Structure 1
Amino acid sequence: MSRAALVVIDVQESFRQRPNWACASQPAIVDQVNRLVDAGRRRGDLVVWVLHAEPGSGDVFDPAHGHVRLIDGLAPVAGEPTLVKTAHNAFTTTNLQQLLTLSGIREITVCGIRTEQCVETTTRVGADLGYEMTFVTDATVTFPIPHRDLPADASLAEILADPRTLSTDDVIARTEYALAGRFATVRTVAEVVRQLQPGAPGAVPVGA
């Protein structure tokens, strides 16, 4: 059994129902996640799928609308748990920590949506809990962030036209600066896949 896990956070249909999906920082998120999943499975890592739900909210995260499901092209296999959270991080409202403890996991790789929100928050909490965290930036998605003074009902066009809007490049850069050397090792998909190859330096053999 490997000591490592891949946690895929909120790569769900809910986000594709919002207008700002047209501005997603990583349109190929499904392909990127599948590269990590395939590499993790080959090495025998635990793959954990996480979805975000807000029951009763009436929006795209309300399970009643049917969007709280993985984006097409992603599919757990037998033995891979799917957890549903109601908080930003994947630990507080799920049994993720218990699951990882029972599996002997000490190293966690994270990816998903959104870069600076649920994925970053999970990374910070995981680090505080003592896990060795790897944050795979190009297997995350974020969107332009409006200034706090912009009306909550501003259209996507208004958000993009506002010079105060934080671009996806800026969001990603700030997240990497905040995490690297403090809460996580920041890597690319290519770097993680290369490291997970059997026999790669630092790789944990299946059955270790």
Structure 2
Amino acid sequence: MNRALLVIDVQESFRRLEKWAAVSNPDIVGQVNKLVAHARAEGDLVVWILHAESGTGTVFDPAHGHVHPIDGLLPAEGEPVISKTSHNAFTTTNLHQLLTQHGIRELTVSGIRTEQCCETTTRIASDLGYDVTFVTDATATHPIEHRDAPPGRSLAEILADPRTLSTDEIIARTEYALSGRFARVVTVKELTGS
């Protein structure tokens, strides 16, 4: 085993946000489960990463009980579950040490948010020397407001703003930025054959 699947932030916290209604991939659990089943069948390590913001009072504060995998995802006994506080999965965790201890040289990346935690982890992993595969349709994101947009708008207002970056635009930009530079970009079907 020299490969690992990273399942990044596919956690209940995101389903508690209003913008979950506009998520790019409502079936992310199904797609991630296909990757997990494939990784386990191949004897690859599956690493579960959760984002936590203790003391913030947000849905990412573990005190509220939402910092756990979304229903339908279940780490198997012995699969590491790591808590992070930064956008990437390396900076505030022992992920690199864990992967080194297991002799991992190849990573498959899935999770939430495509352009944020998943893309950032992919870039760092590449810089650390890992061979990275980014599985676009096993990631999910939400529309992004323009930098000059007023704070506190409803989801309907965000979606109605022509300056809002759509999920399709975000995903395409991430694929362009990563492909051939930081990762090989594939679909679940291309990777698993199903």
Please classify the TM superposition score into its range, dividing by the shorter chain length: over 0.9
Aligned to 1:66: 65
Aligned to 1:159: 158
Aligned to 2:130: 131
* Cα deviation, residue 152, structure 1: 1.8
Cα distance in structure 1, aligned partners of 2:134 and 2:31: 13
Cα distance in structure 1, aligned partners of 2:65 and 2:148: 32
Q: Identity rate of aligned residues, in percent? A: 69
Unaligned stretches of 5+ in structure 2?
none
Unaligned stretches of 5+ in structure 1?
198-208
Structure 1 consecutive aligned stretches of length 4 or more whose deviation exceeds 6 Å: none
Deviations 1:123-178 (A, max 9, x none): 00000000000000000000110101111211111101100000000000000000
Letter aligned with residue 47 of structure 2? V
Aligned to 1:147: 146
CA RMSD, 1 decimal: 0.9
Deviations 1:42-82 (A, max 9, x none): 01000000000001111110111111011000001111000
* Cα deviation, residue 95, structure 1: 0.5
Cα distance in structure 2, aligned partners of 1:153 and 1:62: 20
Cα distance in structure 1, aligned partners of 2:151 and 2:55: 20
**Alignment TM-score, normalising by the size of structure 1:** 0.92
Q: Helix, strand or coil for the counterpart of 2:132? A: strand
* Cα deviation, residue 99, structure 1: 0.5
**Alignment TM-score, normalising by the size of structure 2:** 0.99
Q: Helix, strand or coil for the counterpart of 1:139? A: strand
Matched, 1:24 2:23: yes
Letter aligned with residue 187 of structure 2? T
Aligned to 1:185: 184
Cα distance in structure 1, aligned partners of 2:49 and 2:191: 20
Q: Helix, strand or coil for the counterpart of 2:170? A: helix
Cα distance in structure 2, aligned partners of 1:27 and 1:148: 26
* Cα deviation, residue 85, structure 1: 0.1
Cα distance in structure 1, aligned partners of 2:62 and 2:75: 19
Cα distance in structure 1, aligned partners of 2:102 and 2:78: 12
Letter aligned with residue 96 of structure 1? L
Aligned to 1:79: 78
Aligned to 2:117: 118
Cα distance in structure 1, aligned partners of 2:55 and 2:152: 20
* Cα deviation, residue 182, structure 1: 0.4
Aligned to 1:54: 53
Query: Which structure has the greater CA radius of gyration?
Result: 1
Aligned to 2:173: 174
Letter aligned with residue 122 of structure 2? T
